[in-house]
Amino acid sequence: MKQPPAQKPKTFADYKPDARNWITLATGEYYPDILKDACELYKPVLVLFSQLLQSSESSIRLFLQISEQTGGWMRVQLARVFRKYVSPETPVEMLKHKTKAKTICEQFGKGFRPIQKVQAAFMTRPLPDEALCAVLWGYKDRGKKGYDLTERFFSVFRSAFPDLQIKGPERAGKDILLGEVFKNYPKPNRPVDFLICGSSESDVLAIGLARYDSDRGGAQEDDRTGGYQNCADEILNYAKKRQLRTKVIFINDGPGLLLGSMWDDYAALERRRPGKILVATLRMVPERITRAWLLS
């Protein structure tokens, strides 16, 4: 008797008609419920900022005093307040690094708001300033949803494949650098979120990135998928030259996938290298990441 043809595996694009059912939504916090905790957490930051503001003869001196703070968390929060009051054009990532203080002053110091205006503006607000505390609270859990996604993916994977190895930071931690995994890798500082290995650490079955998109659109879409495309091409070209069976997995989740062209962009990314690139939300993992695919 003739057997029916094997069903073709679903692609990421095939899930689009009911895409919202394949998205995992992270829980959030309600406004204004957060204000009490936010004010308690950030009042010491605003008190210290006030003290530094009063003891500084210029905005440059204020920034240098902030950069001299030894506590990493407090220094970052003070830098965020500084950016709001003094220099909104200064890249926030630069503000976080003590070693870049002089460079920031040289490049952006001329645009700093005069200290007298900063003092006057600060004095118009209550202490603690609920509005500013709410803004700072928004930074508090930035990245947490991504950590939750990675941790849950690791759990699902280990349950399904107890004999395979999955490595990487399950929450916060140092990314895996591919130069430490592969010999003579073309971009040794390429960071990835996880590795899946077979019977030995040298048998790298898949390399993956995991991201949670709460919101995304416009140029951010192009940046994310364009960066993923470059990463996948780089990894797969290296694997092909060395006859490795290594594949690339992108675990992406969140309502941002439903915005703009994001879903179609990821589907196109997967189609670039059929069988070598796999895009999945957390809910797709059990049916999309199979032993047969990993070992092929």
Q: Give residue 266's identity as a one-letter amino acid code.
A: Y
258 pLDDT more than 80? yes
Residue 294, φ and ψ in degrees, nearest 5: -60, -40
- Give the whole-number percent of the chain exceeding pLDDT 70: 93
Q: Which two tokens stand for residue 1?
A: 């008797």
Confidence check: pLDDT of 285 > 80: yes
- Is the pTM here over 0.75, yes or no? no
The predicted model gives 241-255 an average pLDDT of 94
Same-domain pairing of 260 and 216: yes
Helix runs in 55-200, H state only: 59-67, 72-85, 92-95, 101-108, 115-123, 130-140, 144-160
The domain tally of the chain equals 2
Q: Name the H helices within the chain.
A: 35-54, 59-67, 72-85, 92-95, 101-108, 115-123, 130-140, 144-160, 219-241, 262-272, 285-288, 291-295
Does residue 186 sit within a domain?
Answer: yes
Task: Tell me whether residue 71 is in a domain.
Answer: yes
Cα dist. 75→31, 67, 78, 180 in Å? 26, 7, 5, 32
Query: What does the pLDDT read at residue 2?
Result: 55
Cis amide bond preceding 32, omega within 30: yes
Residue matched to tokens 């899930």 = 15
Nearest to 251 by CA among 185, 116, 153: 153
161 lies in a domain? yes
Domain annotation covers residue 12: no
Inside any domain, residue 230: yes
Is 149 inside any structural domain?
A: yes
Is the pLDDT at 178 greater than 80? The verdict is yes
14-23, 96-105, 154-163: least confident range: 96-105
> Looking at residue 194, what is its pLDDT?
95
pLDDT per residue as tens digits for the range 114-169? 999 999 999 999 999 999 999 999 888 776 777 788 999 999 999 999 999 999 98
Beta strand pairing status for 176-177 and 277-280?
unpaired
The reply to whether 135 and 154 lie within a common domain is no
Whole-number Å distance between alpha carbons of 133 and 35: 7
Above pLDDT 90, what percent of the chain? 65
For residue 8, the model assigns a pLDDT of: 79
265 and 155 in a common domain: yes
Domain, as residue range, for 44: 35-140
Question: What is the reported pLDDT for 4?
Answer: 53
Residue 284 has pLDDT above 90, yes or no: yes
Q: Could you give the angle at the alpha carbon of 202 between the alpha carbons of 200 and 205, nearest 5°? A: 85
Residue 165: closest CA among 138, 200, 136, 193: 200
- Checking if the pLDDT of 235 tops 90, the result is yes
Q: Which residue has the tokens 């073309």?
A: 186
Q: For the segment 54-69, what is each residue's pLDDT rounded down to a tens digit?
A: 999 999 999 999 998 8
Average pLDDT of the chain is 89
CATH number at residue 266: 3.40.1350
Rounded to whole angstroms, how far apart are CA atoms 206 and 250? 10
The answer, yes or no, to whether residue 268 has pLDDT greater than 70, is yes
CB atoms within 10 A of CB 105: 19
**In the prediction, which pLDDT does 219 show?**
46
Domain end (from 109, 140, 171) = 140
